[in-house]
Amino acid sequence: MHVAQHTWSPADGWRPARPSGDADLVLAFVPPDADPATAVASAAALAEAFPRAVRVTCTAGGQIAGTRVLDDVAVVTAVRFDATRVRAAATHHRE
């Protein structure tokens, strides 16, 4: 298993650098108060950087990158498995 972590923001783009895109699973944590344009740009950046990965995004109050807690950026953890296939499923919850 190989894990890489990146941050993304509309102002700075990818940090430390644009990901290679060879992940199987991408977990993205974005600020809950991100404006809609930022959310759309974030999703587009993820799709472009990780076209073959299963991408899961959720909001989080204070995103954790390594040992730091960050605000106003998306924190992206990309995982590539050596011998595991990843599939996604979705469900709708009604209150």
Residues 3-55 have pLDDT tens digits of: 989 888 878 888 887 777 789 999 988 888 877 777 777 788 888 888 999 99
Closest Cα to residue 56, out of 84, 24, 83? 24
Could you give the CA distance from residue 51 to residue 32 in angstroms, rounded to a whole number? 24
Q: Is 23 exposed, middle or buried (0-12, 13-18, 19+ CB in 10 A)?
A: buried
Enumerate residues 6+ apart whose C-beta is below 8 A from 94: none
Tokens 């390594």, located at residue: 66
Beta pairing partners, 65: 68
**pTM for this structure?**
0.77
Q: What is the pLDDT of residue 81?
A: 94
37-47 pLDDT per residue, tens: 777 777 888 88
